Amino acid sequence: MTSQDSFFEKITAAQITRVSVRSLCFRGECVLVQRPSDDDTANFAFPGGRLEYGESLSERVRAEYQEEMGVSIEPPQFLFVVENRFWHRDKIYHGVEHYFLVQPPLTSIVSQEPHIVFHWLPLAELADADLRPTVVRDSICDGSWRTARLLSVPFNETHSPRSV
């Protein structure tokens, strides 16, 4: 089982709504993405992590960059919220993700955590990339991320566990 599968198994088994922060960080014609280091076929995701008790959303974004990349960033700018629901095996993952615009650090991005790798994904390849949630990827492609306030991942509530 990959680290990504283990992560989703743990979250879906708890039957909680996961509140997290995510970031859009552009450098030139690229956007910063991450994925698990143990699976080259795993989808890409936007950098971020779970909101921790007592922290503000902005503090968590800055902490994620410090903890995962070893870089300090300027205060991030709030963009929009994503309601992200999908089936993982026979259980529902439900996340509420707060997205922020982050100015790219002046230093190189090097993962400080062995389970994550970071990539600068060219915007020209974005539409075909397995980058999730796809509603965010698509809003970058069409430019609507600049004015979006709420994005919702389409969800099939009549999912049958046998169809996984």
Tens digits of pLDDT across the chain (164 residues): 666 667 667 766 667 788 999 999 999 999 999 999 998 989 999 999 999 999 999 999 999 999 999 999 999 999 999 998 877 777 877 889 999 999 999 889 999 999 999 999 999 999 999 999 999 999 999 999 999 999 998 888 776 554 33
Find residue 29's DSSP bridge partners: none
Domains of the chain: 3-163 (3.90.79.10)
The whole-number pLDDT of residue 5 equals: 67
Q: What is the pLDDT of residues 75-116, one digit of tens each?
A: 999 999 999 887 777 787 788 999 999 999 988 999 999 999
Cα angle 134-151-6, degrees, rounded to a multiple of 5:
50
Nearest CA among 7, 17, 8 for reference residue 89: 8
Classify the phi-psi angles of 48: left when phi > 0, otherwise alpha if psi is within -120 to 50, otherwise beta. left
Give the pTM.
Answer: 0.87
